[in-house]
Each structure stands twice: as structure tokens, then as C-alpha cells.
Structure 1
């Protein structure tokens, strides 16, 4: 990791006074345009990044701050993940700063840059659906980096994923074993790595069972539970599915709203558990990820790197588990069981 250039370095390279560099860096505009251009060129050449934390960090100390960028604070999955990371970070004596990219690449880039300006000791990020700049274009130095949930192009990052394809394949196999033949896929955009993997598992289970993938039973526009509700109502009216694989918790919640609106339901398994799953009648079967383990592992790994531990990038795929509660079975079997 290279030494961080200072404002003194910028002033020396640009041939201007330190005070002029300070004014430029802090956004003042009443600077001679020629001097401003020289300062800007020097900043790019040196890779200077203003250090907002410098006033409170003595030489040789670290910030004891970690940055986290998730995709959507409103999503219960990411809320739980943030909580797991924060608990581990706090226990190790660090402060966590978290922000959301809202799945937008430029927003993700701006948030990352602000965290780097704060001289965080490490970063944990969930790459957004809409890609921003490549990590190779991020101005160094870059602190230890852990990528969660979806892979990225960061060459030196640790990556922690869940077995999305395997969990989805098992869920759909279970629906087929319960007698389903026309299984609908309700999920978000296939631009998302997790959705592509879950859709791959869905297809694999159908293929093994000798069932063709029917595009009329596939909805990949369920970013919110309202979107999912509309898609399920449309598919149940037009596609005649006999079961649903809900590829995330919002798709599952939207499906429950659709069942209530239509006045009947069909068997369903969801990917990711959610609080209402056990309140439904029958309770919703789910594929679960160990969110606590993922958050704990991410926090420990970034702190280990930040404190001089193993530097070789690793990729970890955590297993998923199928929790059967009854909603994967046809109505008549459920009635017999009751």
C-alpha cells in the first residue's frame, strides 16, 4: 500500500502555496483558473484524496472505522446483514458507517469515495445491480475490501456468497416432488447475480424432471412486493401455474398479497426467510441463508486484513438450508394433514 500523498505534496508538485491547495480542496472557487488547473493536475498525478479524518487521528493510529455499502436499507435481508456485521464490528472495537447504493452504480461510486475520504480501515460492499466504475479505476490507496452477496471485479477482495443455485434447485425439486408441474418463477431482474443463480437452479430442477421452462410462467420484474403481487395475479389468471418459487422475500410477500386478493392460493417455497412466513396459513417453506454467519465472517475477515492478517484473496460460498413448513404441498394434502 503506497504512502498517502498530502496537501504539502500537492502544493509542491503544483508550485503553489499550501493555503491555495487547501482552499481548492475545500471547494472555494475564487482561485486563479491557471493555478486551479495545476492543482487539479497534481491531485490526479499524485492520487491525493482529502483526509476528512486527519484532524482526529494521530500519526500511527488507525481510524477504527469500517465502511459498509449495501443495496437497499428497506430490504429486510440487508437490514439483518447490517445488524450482524455491526454486532461483530462493535465487539472488536470498531465503528461501522453504513450506506445504501439503491442498486445504482454512480451512487455506489460516490458512497465508496466518501468512505475512502474518511480513511476507513476497511470496506464491506454489496455490488449494485447497475454497475459503476471498475475497481481498477478507483484511485489508490484502497483499504482491505470484502465483497458480499454478489461477486465483483475487485482483484484483491475477499468474496462471500451464498449457494443460490443449489438452494433454489432443491426448492423447486421439492415442489415437483409434491406434484407440481407448472411452477412459476417470481423474482427481480436477472441483471442481479443472485437472481441469475436462483433462476439457474430453477431451470436445472425443471430440466432434470423433464419439464420445459415456460417463459409465460417467469416474472423478473418483482423489485418490490407490489411488483410481485401484480405479477402473481397476472400469472395466476393467464398462465395457470400450480406452484410458485418466490426468488426473494419481497416476491414471497407479494405472492401472499396476491393470494389474498384472488381468494385462493397455490403451493409456494420462497428464497430467504421473512417474519410473516410463519404467520401464513399454512406457514411458508423457505430456503434460508445464514445471514448472521455471513455478516460475522465479513467483519472478521476485513478486520483481519486491516490488522495485518492473510492478504491472499479468498472466495467463500456458504450453504443454504431448506426449511419445510407445509406450504410446498398441494391443498388436498394440507387439508388431510390438518
Structure 2
């Protein structure tokens, strides 16, 4: 057979009615055992596969597939999130389709449109740094969406974030307790809600420690490790904007700071936000604010699928606690 086998082909091969084949492939169990065995043998012989995309067009049917749009699969932070989402989806019997926006709004919108065209049952989305169109501008029907890591300003939106403000505040307070007085903030664009929250935590901790904020020490242009390296290199050499400690507001900024320390042949006390695998292997090990990104991904799937299934009391906002891991680099 050169074309894809259909249920009609299975029915002819098994010598049963089409309706019986339809009931069998959709999991109904009250089918004569002899007929069921003949259908199973016909399916195996013909290589028949159920067309879930076509099935999802019918009322009450689903594709059993959800979509994930993240920022960058090459970043271990997002890869960990994707793993958490995939494991939770698989446990609930769903397939995951993943795409990377690369922090670009237009690319993000194109990915979302493609997933909607595929009639996926729902989406888990990390909003991009460069905004695309407004979510509430999408023409209904739109499947359930859960936003992760970054809050969006959409009525009724379901969001899961880390305690960005509290975690950053803990880190800066630890640096101040160690004697630092000029603590630099090195992070990504403040257009990212999580980054704005981390800056707010930084500022609150400075104020609590009785330290004045110096605008020359606040940098929100570290979109990559290379940019963070240049920023920290300047902090190490500038007479006007010198720092005596660094709070790196994401893992890319931590890596850039470490590269700058190596190039300069000296280091400053450092605490980063987001853990990374090599952090414990360095000398000294890098102190970090850890967040359970995998758990955030799993929680997003739970909220998404509970919403799809009509569960009561599904939360609209979940804030996952962070943990400060002091390993030595803060001194």
C-alpha cells in the first residue's frame, strides 16, 4: 500500500464494521475479543496510525499535544525548564512540541501562530524580551496558555514565576553583610519583568543595609556573557564606577563576570541569580540564588492540563521560592 492506511482499510482487512474499528482505536473496551484481536492484527499488518490532527478538529476531541515556546534552548536555564515541562506532559499522556523565540517578538508570534494552526491543546510560554503583539489581540478561539518565568499584563493570565525580588534581595544583603559597599547590578533588559523584579530586590536590599545606590553601578545591557564580561571589566578598571562586589542577575551575567575576573587576574565578591553546572567546580565555587526551574515547568503543565480538564480552583499565579547557596565566591 503506497498511501497511508485508513480506518476503512483496517475495517476491510479485519472484516468488521468501520464503527467497530473507530471504537477500538479510541480506547473503548466493550468490543468482542475476537473482533478486537482481528482489528489489532490488521492495524499491525497495515501499519495504521491514528490521525490525531484530524481527530482534534472534531468537537470533544483533542490532539493530546501541547506547545512550549521558550527563549533559547542553548541556555541551560531554559533547557532545564523544557525538561520539566516535557516530563510532566509525558506523565499526563501528552506530547510536547518546543520552539525557541530567541527573545524576538516576531519569531515568538510566528511560533505561536504555527502551534495554533496545529490545533494544539494548550501552550506554555516564556514571553520574549523584545515584545511581540498583545496576547489579548489574538482572535478566539485560543487554547489555554500558562506563562512561565515572566508575568504578562493580560486579564486572567495564568503565570508561574520565581521569587525574583526576594531572591535578589537575599543575595545583595549577603554581599553587604560581607562588607561590600559598592555592589554592582549586572543583568539583562529591564523590559523582562523578572529582571525588573531582581533590580527592585537589589535596591530594597541596598536601602535596608543603609547603602546609597550609584546609577553608575546598575547595568541592564548584559544580553550575553560577552556583554557582561565587558561591563564587569569596566567595573574592575574604572576609577569613577569601580565596584567592590557584583550581583549577576542571571547565569549569562555570572559567566561574563567570571571571564572578566580571569582576564583581569583578580576577582570581586560575586553572587549570581540562576545556578549552572560548572558553578560548584570553580575555585571558589560560585554562590547563586537557585530556583527550581524544572518544578516551575512541571507546575505550568499541571495548571494548563487542569484548566483543560475543567478542574476547580486552578491558581492564576504561582510564585516559586528561591534558595540562596553561599559557596565562597561571595567573600
* TM bucket normalised to smaller: 0.7 to 0.9
Distance 2:57 2:225 in 1: 48
Work out the number of aligned pairs and report it: 278
Give the alignment's TM-score, normalised by structure 1: 0.79
Residue 134 of structure 1 deviates from its aligned partner by: 1.4
Q: Which residue of 2 aligns with 1:36?
A: none
Matched, 1:158 2:170: no
Q: CA deviation at 1:286?
A: 0.5
Pairing 1:1-40 to 2, within 5 Å after superposition: none
Displacement after TM superposition at 1:56 (Å): 5.3
Deviation at 1:57, TM superposition (A): 4.3
CA contact (8 A) 2:55 2:62 kept: no
In structure 2, the residue matched to 1:127 is 127
Name the CA distance, whole Å, in 1 between partners of 2:312 and 2:109. Answer: 27
Write the deviation string for residues 115-174 of structure 1: whole angstroms up to 9, x where unpaired. Answer: 111111111111112222212210111111111111113323311111101100110000
What's the counterpart of residue 229 of structure 1?
229
SS of equivalent residue, structure 2 residue 68 = strand
Q: 2: CA distance between counterparts of 1:312 and 1:296?
A: 14
Report Cα offsets for 1:317-336 as digits up to 9, x if no partner.
1111101111111xxxxxxx
Aligned-residue CA RMSD in angstroms?
1.6
**Any stretches of 5+ residues in structure 1 without a counterpart?**
1-51, 330-338
User: Where does 1:258-277 land on structure 2 (aligned, <5 Å)?
Assistant: 258-277=260-279
Q: Note the 1:233-244 alignment, pairs <5 A.
A: 233-238=233-238, 239-244=241-246
**Residue 283 (1) aligns with residue 285 (2):** yes
Indicate the SS of the match to 1:151: coil
Are positions 1:99 and 2:99 aligned together?
A: yes
Partner of 1:82, secondary structure, is helix
For 2:176 and 2:138, locate their aligned partners in 1 and report how far apart those are by CA, in whole Å. 47
Provide the C-alpha distance between the structure 1 equivalents of 2:287 and 2:258, rounded to a whole number of angstroms.
13
Q: Which residue of 2 aligns with 1:147?
A: 147
Distance 1:275 1:76 in 2: 9
For residue 311 of structure 1, report the CA deviation from its aligned partner. 7.0
Where do 4+ consecutive residues of structure 1 move more than 3 Å? Answer: 52-60, 310-313
Report if aligned partners of 1:145, 1:156 keep a CA contact under 8 Å in 2: no
- Counterpart in the other structure of 2:36: none
Deviation at 1:313, TM superposition (A): 5.6
Find the counterpart in structure 1 of residue 43 from structure 2: none
> Could you list the per-position Cα deviations for residues 176-199 of structure 1 after superposition, in whole angstroms to 9, with x for gaps in the alignment?
000100111111111111111111
Unaligned runs of 5+ in 2: 1-50
| CA distance 1:215–1:292, change in 2 (3 Å) | same
Which residue of the partner structure matches residue 117 of structure 2?
Answer: 117
Counterpart of 1:215 in structure 2 is: 215
